[in-house]
């Protein structure tokens, strides 16, 4: 028999306030393997990982680590047994050096004072293990590193506690393709040194590049386990969705023919900002224009320029053929443009505000009845929006902090629709939300466009752009590199590289 | 059928209990003093009105500070504004009440405007700007008065702004209630109030929503300094004199009142009613400690302990919630 498995979890149950999140999960991680864990949002992935790393204690079930039974009272206890987790939101302090960050929790101390030299040397060894010793210095401040480099430092940090099992939570979510390749190289190096890894991801294609086995979680149970060589993306999707297989990632929106004589609702001409170079495109009423590009290509910056967040150095924005000057979001909103920003939690919402207060945030002045807010009308409008967008909430007085990602995003969209915007800029509106909510959101956007409005759509999922947009511009290094009419996911993937 | 905002009759959550704790503390302290200081006359109408009189200025400043903290800013200079405004009104009263009072309010608003412009246009943290302004304003006040007390000899002024009673009710109490009610309505019922809370809750989201965050910051700092100037005028009316030391010791009391009331030090959450209750608690404690016969040193120590205790009670549950 091969050596004892790195982790064996049997019949793990975990509930929060009477809500069962894990309903008897069985999971096994073999020594030295890279094991992918997939599932929709809410399937229980993060809860399972938090049980494995000691953040949560299971209500029932048993754990054994390298053949020894284990029960962790804290993350410290799990770390002592060699389990480390690299979180999606990185836990590094940007203003401190790489070495300081790596030894944040276990400083090397001699006679009560920090031994900087020893930590430097140890950091260098760890960076070597990850394969980046020649490009990242232990003395460098973390804020000077790219997202990909930070991810690798985070892994080095996990190694500093002698981790033999590393859990990676969505490690590629904010990395460019080149950075992802580098990460994979580092992961393989660790594997060759006998480290076992759990790899959580939404990007199913990555699994086939790097993982040995894959487990699918659905509704708190582990429903399938395959060797990667024996499965395929459609099979994984089917297992993740269960009954909901019918909902594939094809939105089948009827594309709109551009009436030749019509005035574009939005036209940008030769936009130049500190990030953009001569960007031009047109959006006609009833049209969805896609901007496809890698992270950092300038796709977000185009939206920011239109929304008045980045000052224009030259170029023009025309609405309905009329040139407008937009220098702040307030002016953009006044001109009928609104933005659903990239990061709903930090840019789109005020988390401690209620659904109601968030919904009217953009249109406070419209609801002000000479002096006072018209509370009844505001509530009426909010109820109507919540119903129209099917926001799942305990009520409009609920703080948005407690809504799920998809419902939070619906509130952001509702907030923008409420301003009577004619032009909606969507920056990756379906990022990190589950399939059902994605469909609902795309449905809302489609309805909005059919009323003769215009949408500029940025997405990190090319299948979405391919099947949803009437025309797509490829963005590279702050320029428009190409325009594609009808397209497919594969062609887009090739075009943006 | 019209749709009204109805709160469902769910059992109170932890967060809601936390908002109510302040009222329990208020009632608890009131009962405590009523029982133990009964023979010292705590419950007598005269003494209760005394508490209101002593609390009025703190409450009015607390209303302004609620807006500043809700917008995630701070103003350390309002104590200095109190003195400058009191001195201004006292010096200008010989030229008439209609010149002196607007001038004093104007001086306060001007201080707030300078604070606000540096914060909003130059982008310096309000902590530093108002710290610097404290020195400048205090310096001016000391210079103008040559460290002398300026007497106020104007009966109408003194009556309206501090010393008068209408029936059994002190005018100070009326000022306090009017300002608190106005502040409550401004924060809860107008779009400006929502913009203040939004700017403090998440500056970026507020800006993306089309709110001019810098203008909001400017306005709250002007509002706060103007209310501090009003407090200075009331001090001048009540004491019938003005001195450069006025307002010096109010910083701790005002910030403590606002925080105890449930306004977040980090912005986004604010309550004027809470601040009023917080100020009344502070006033009640002061009064109670004096009636107990404690000397000033002992009062200071006990007051500090009570402030920390009350803040722990109101903020303790908040921390637990954040952790979860």
- Position A493 scores a pLDDT of 65
Nearest Cα neighbor of A441 from A452, A455, A423 is A455
Query: For residue A373, what are the domain limits?
Result: 266-496
Give me the CATH number covering residue A306: 3.40.50.300
**Are A305 and A369 contained in the same domain?**
yes
Confidence of residue B10 (pLDDT cuts 50, 70, 90): very low
pLDDT in tens, A198-249: 999 877 878 899 999 999 998 888 998 999 999 888 788 778 777 644 444 5
**Domain boundary at A246, A277, A306, which?**
A246
**Are A200 and A298 contained in the same domain?**
no
- DSSP state, B118? I
**Are A230 and A278 contained in the same domain?**
no
- Position B127 scores a pLDDT of 95
- Which A positions 140-169 lie with beta carbon below 8 A of chain B? none
pLDDT in tens, B151-186: 999 999 999 999 999 988 999 999 999 999 999 999
Residue B210: pLDDT over 70: yes
In a domain, A251, yes or no: no
Q: Three-class SS of residue B189?
A: helix
**Are A76 and A145 contained in the same domain?**
yes
Topology of the domain covering B46-314: ABC transporter involved in vitamin B12 uptake, BtuC (1.10.3470)
Name chain B contacts of A385, Cβ cutoff 8 Å.
none
In a domain, A253, yes or no: no
In a domain, A138, yes or no: yes
- Position A317 scores a pLDDT of 94
**Are A202 and A322 contained in the same domain?**
no
**Are A242 and A305 contained in the same domain?**
no
Q: How many domains does chain A have?
A: 2
As a whole number, mean pLDDT of residues A411-428 equals 90
pLDDT in tens, B63-80: 999 999 999 999 999 999
Quick check: B202 and A333 CB within 8 A? Answer: no
Confidence of residue B16 (pLDDT cuts 50, 70, 90): low
Quick check: B209 and A365 CB within 8 A? Answer: no
Residue A29: pLDDT over 70: yes
Tell me the nearest-neighbour CA distance from B190 into chain A, angstroms: 5
**Domain boundary at A216, A246, A276, which?**
A246
- Position A107 scores a pLDDT of 83
**Are A162 and A291 contained in the same domain?**
no
As a whole number, mean pLDDT of residues B236-257 equals 92
**Are A217 and A285 contained in the same domain?**
no
- Position A255 scores a pLDDT of 61
**Are A234 and A123 contained in the same domain?**
yes
Quick check: B191 and A368 CB within 8 A? Answer: yes
Residue B4: pLDDT over 90: no
**Are A330 and A220 contained in the same domain?**
no
Confidence of residue A261 (pLDDT cuts 50, 70, 90): low
In a domain, A91, yes or no: yes
**Are A203 and A275 contained in the same domain?**
no
Quick check: B201 and A351 CB within 8 A? Answer: yes
Strands A109-110 and A83-86: unpaired
What's the whole-number average pLDDT of chain B? 89
pLDDT in tens, A368-386: 777 788 888 888 888 988 9
Q: What are the boundaries of each domain within chain B?
A: 46-314
In a domain, A254, yes or no: no
- The answer, for B214 touching chain A at a CB cutoff of 8 Å, is no
- The answer, for A347 touching chain B at a CB cutoff of 8 Å, is yes
Q: Three-class SS of residue B224?
A: helix
In a domain, A259, yes or no: no
Confidence of residue A418 (pLDDT cuts 50, 70, 90): confident
Report for A361-365, A449-453, B1-5, B276-280: range of highest mean pLDDT: B276-280
As a whole number, mean pLDDT of residues A23-44 equals 88
In a domain, A40, yes or no: yes
Residue contacts between A and B (CB atoms, under 8 Å): 89
Q: Give phi and psi for A155, each to the nearest 5.
A: -70, -40
As a whole number, mean pLDDT of residues A146-160 equals 86
Which residues, 6 or more positions from A152, have their beta carbon under 8 angstroms from its beta carbon? Answer: A127, A130, A132, A136, A182, A183, A186
Confidence of residue B316 (pLDDT cuts 50, 70, 90): low
- The answer, for B2 touching chain A at a CB cutoff of 8 Å, is yes
Q: Kindly list the distances between the CA atom of residue A281 and the CA atoms of A5, A267, A301, B177, B288, in Å, as whole numbers in the listed order.
A: 56, 6, 14, 58, 72
- The answer, for A385 touching chain B at a CB cutoff of 8 Å, is no
Quick check: B5 and A379 CB within 8 A? Answer: yes
Residue with tokens 């003769």: A452
Do A292 and A428 touch, CB atoms closer than 8 A?
A: no
Do B2 and A377 touch, CB atoms closer than 8 A?
A: no
- Position A247 scores a pLDDT of 42
In a domain, A238, yes or no: yes
For A193, other C-beta atoms within 10 Å of its C-beta total 11
| Cross-chain CB nearest to A348 (options B4, B208, B211) | B208
**Domain boundary at A246, A280, A308, which?**
A246
**Are A116 and A200 contained in the same domain?**
yes
As a whole number, mean pLDDT of residues A340-352 equals 90
Give exposure, A388-397, as e/b (b: 16+ Cβ within 10 Å): ebebebeebb
Quick check: B212 and A347 CB within 8 A? Answer: no
């Amino acid at each position: 028999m091969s050596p004892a498995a790195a982790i064996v979890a049997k019949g793990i149950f975990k509930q929060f306030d009477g809500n069962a999140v894990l309903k008897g999960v069985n999971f096994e991680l073999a020594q030295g393997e890279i094991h992918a864990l997939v599932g929709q949002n809410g399937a229980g992935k993060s809860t399972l990982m938090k049980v494995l790393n000691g953040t949560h204690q299971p209500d029932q079930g048993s754990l054994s680590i390298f053949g020894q039974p284990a029960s962790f009272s804290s993350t410290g206890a799990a770390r002592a047994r060699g389990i480390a987790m690299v979180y999606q939101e990185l836990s590094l302090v940007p203003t401190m050096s790489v070495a300081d960050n790596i030894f944040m929790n276990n400083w090397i101390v001699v006679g009560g004072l920090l031994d900087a030299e020893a930590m430097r040397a140890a950091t260098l060894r760890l960076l070597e293990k990850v394969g980046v010793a020649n490009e990242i210095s232990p003395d460098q401040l973390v804020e000077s590193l790219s997202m990909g480099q930070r991810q690798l430092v985070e892994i080095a940090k996990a190694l500093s506690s002698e981790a033999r099992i590393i859990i990676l939570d969505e490690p590629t979510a904010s990395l460019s393709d080149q950075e992802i390749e580098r990460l994979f190289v580092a992961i393989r190096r660790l594997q060759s040194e006998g480290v076992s890894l759990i790899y959580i991801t939404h990007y199913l294609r990555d699994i086939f590049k790097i993982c040995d086995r894959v487990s699918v979680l659905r509704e708190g149970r582990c429903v399938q386990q395959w060797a990667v060589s024996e499965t395929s993306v459609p099979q994984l999707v089917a297992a993740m969705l269960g009954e909901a297989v019918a909902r594939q990632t094809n939105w089948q929106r009827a594309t709109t023919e551009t009436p030749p004589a019509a005035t574009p609702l939005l036209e940008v001409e030769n936009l130049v900002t500190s990030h953009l170079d001569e960007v031009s495109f047109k959006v006609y009423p009833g049209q969805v224009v896609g901007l496809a590009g890698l992270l950092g290509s300038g796709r977000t910056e185009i939206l920011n320029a239109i929304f008045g967040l980045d000052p224009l150095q030259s170029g023009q924005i025309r609405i309905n053929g009329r040139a407008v000057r937009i220098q702040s979001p307030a002016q953009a909103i006044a001109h009928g443009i609104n933005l659903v920003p990239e990061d709903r939690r930090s840019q789109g919402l005020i988390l401690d505000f209620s659904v109601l207060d968030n919904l009217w945030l953009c249109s406070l002045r419209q609801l002000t009845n000479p002096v006072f807010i018209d509370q009844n009308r505001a509530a009426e409008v909010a109820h109507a929006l919540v119903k129209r967008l099917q926001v799942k909430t305990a009520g409009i007085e609920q703080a948005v902090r407690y809504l799920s990602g998809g419902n939070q995003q619906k509130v952001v969209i509702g907030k923008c629709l409420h301003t009577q915007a004619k032009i909606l800029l969507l920056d990756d509106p379906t990022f990190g939300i589950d399939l059902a909510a994605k469909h609902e959101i795309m449905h809302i956007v489609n309805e909005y466009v059919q009323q003769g409005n215009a949408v500029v759509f940025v997405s990190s999922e090319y299948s979405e752009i391919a099947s949803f947009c009437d025309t797509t511009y490829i963005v590279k290094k702050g320029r428009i590199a190409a325009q594609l009419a009808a397209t497919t996911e594969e062609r887009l993937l090739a075009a943006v590289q | 059928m019209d749709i009204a905002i109805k709160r469902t009759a769910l059992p109170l959550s932890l967060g809601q209990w936390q908002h109510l704790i302040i009222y329990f503390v208020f009632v608890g302290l009131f009962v405590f003093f009523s029982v133990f200081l009964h023979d010292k006359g705590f419950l007598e109408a005269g003494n209760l009105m005394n508490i209101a009189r002593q609390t009025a200025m703190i409450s009015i400043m607390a209303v302004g500070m609620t807006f500043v903290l809700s917008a995630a800013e701070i103003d350390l200079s309002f104590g200095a504004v109190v003195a400058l405004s009191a001195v201004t009104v006292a010096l200008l009263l010989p030229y008439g009440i209609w010149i002196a009072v607007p001038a004093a309010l104007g001086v306060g608003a001007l201080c707030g405007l300078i604070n606000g412009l540096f914060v909003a246009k130059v982008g310096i943290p309000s902590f530093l700007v108002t710290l610097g302004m404290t020195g400048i304003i205090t310096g001016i006040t000391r210079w103008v008065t040559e460290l002398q007390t300026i007497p106020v000899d104007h009966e109408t002024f003194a009556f309206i702004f501090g010393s008068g009673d209408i029936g059994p009710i002190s005018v100070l109490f009326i000022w306090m209630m009017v300002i608190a009610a106005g502040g409550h309505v401004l924060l809860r019922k107008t779009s400006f109030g929502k913009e203040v809370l939004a700017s403090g809750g998440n500056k970026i989201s507020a800006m993306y929503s089309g709110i001019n965050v810098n203008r909001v910051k400017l306005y709250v700092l002007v509002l706060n300094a103007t209310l501090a100037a009003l407090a200075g005028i009331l001090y001048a009316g009540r004491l019938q004199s003005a001195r450069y030391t006025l307002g010096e010791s109010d910083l701790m009391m005002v910030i403590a009142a606002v925080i105890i009331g449930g306004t977040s030090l980090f912005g986004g959450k604010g309550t004027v009613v809470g601040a009023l209750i917080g100020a009344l608690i502070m006033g009640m404690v002061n009064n109670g400690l004096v009636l107990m016969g404690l000397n000033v040193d002992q009062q200071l120590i006990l007051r500090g302990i009570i402030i920390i205790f009350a803040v722990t009670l109101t903020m303790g549950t908040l921390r637990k919630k954040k952790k979860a």
